[in-house]
Amino acid sequence: MNSNENIEPILVTGAAGFIGAALVKSLLSLNLKVIGVDNINDYYSTTLKRSRLKEIEEVSENNGIWFFHQIPIEDNELFSNIIQKYNPKVVVHLAAQAGVRYSLINPFAYIQSNLVGFSNVLEGCRQNKISHLIYASSSSVYGGNKSLPFNEEQPVNHPVSLYAATKKSNELMAHTYSHLYDLPTTGLRFFTVYGPWGRPDMAPMIFANAILKNEPIKVFNYGKMQRDFTYIEDVVQGIIRCCYKQANTDKLFNPAIPNPSTSSAPYRIFNLGNSNPTDLTYFIELLEENLGKKAKKQLEPIQPGDVVSTSAKMDLLYSWVGYKPSTSLEKGISLFCQWYLDYYKSDINKI
């Protein structure tokens, strides 16, 4: 990666989000011009999102060029104007209504953000002849599939949550644009991302908060769950590697036996996970060890929309960009807890 010529400038949606903010900081450290877009919605703490943006501002003082626009991607005109103004070569689309369980409560939010919003991103890329669209998919698309590890050549036609269904829909929509308009698209299926600046609705933050407050934590499926926890910086590096390699057509693609991860169009799908599924109980033990307190566990049945286990096969991404995550859960949880204790040291209740 000796030249940044092919990916400057770059637009990141969801720039105030967990993954988005971490990506922006890394891109700025490469002295790139980065345009961030985020609506700063109140699904979770806007204070945390503003804090992430402050961190980005501090990085940008000495590295790269940073522009930020607080707009919703659901507004097609506003988003299109941003693309036209900056003419990015690459768009990394991370904005979405996140969370499996919340999709059971407020499905409309997922339709608007993950489907309407994504269609606006695709149209903006098409109309402005963007060189490459990279977008966030999810391990949730594997749904009812119980063949582990999950690999990209498996069919993903049985989602078990609306969130997963919208992410699968994103992959289908992207393929259509790749096929019809020759728009290179790369979809990355993230596997349980965790680390500093994480989302408060995810297990690391929920558990850490409860442990420090001496409150019970709900352990679903009675603790008999596994997740392929993937450290945030590993995810960021995987995204950046893909920025440097545009999706292309698969010359070996056989329409008689279609491979879901490639196409005769410039379209690719990759897992981005740690390839090391961990028992939920061990994950909790690491939090206890690093926080110096024991958890009060409240065992519960599995939640609707949840899956018991996730595990990523990483051969495809490794063969494509020569990268796979390497941060151990022990190291990642240690770094997360260090950040958590520092960020919330003055007021644990502000989570």
The first and second tokens of residue 339, run together, are: 């950040």
Instruction: Give the Cα separation of 183 and 199 in Å (integer).
Output: 31
What lies within 8 Å, CB to CB, of 266 at 6+ separation is 178, 182, 183, 184, 185, 246, 247, 248, 249
**Residue 340 falls in the annotated catalytic set:** no
CA 158, 43, 10 angle in degrees (round to 5)? 80
Instruction: Give the Cα separation of 70 and 56 in Å (integer).
Output: 15
Query: Cβ distance 96 to 112 under 8 Å?
Result: no
Instruction: Give the Cα separation of 117 and 97 in Å (integer).
Output: 10
Going by the DSSP 8-state scheme, the letter that residue 5 receives in this structure is G
Placement of tokens 């989302």 in the chain? 199
Residues in the chain: 351
Instruction: Give the Cα separation of 227 and 282 in Å (integer).
Output: 11
Beta strands, E only, the chain: 10-13, 33-38, 65-70, 90-93, 132-138, 185-190, 193-194, 216-220, 226-227, 230-231, 267-272, 278-279, 296-300
Active-site position among 163, 194, 231, 267: 163
User: In whole angstroms, how large is the CA radius of gyration of the chain?
Assistant: 19
The first and second tokens of residue 289, run together, are: 């060890």
Please list the active-site residues.
163
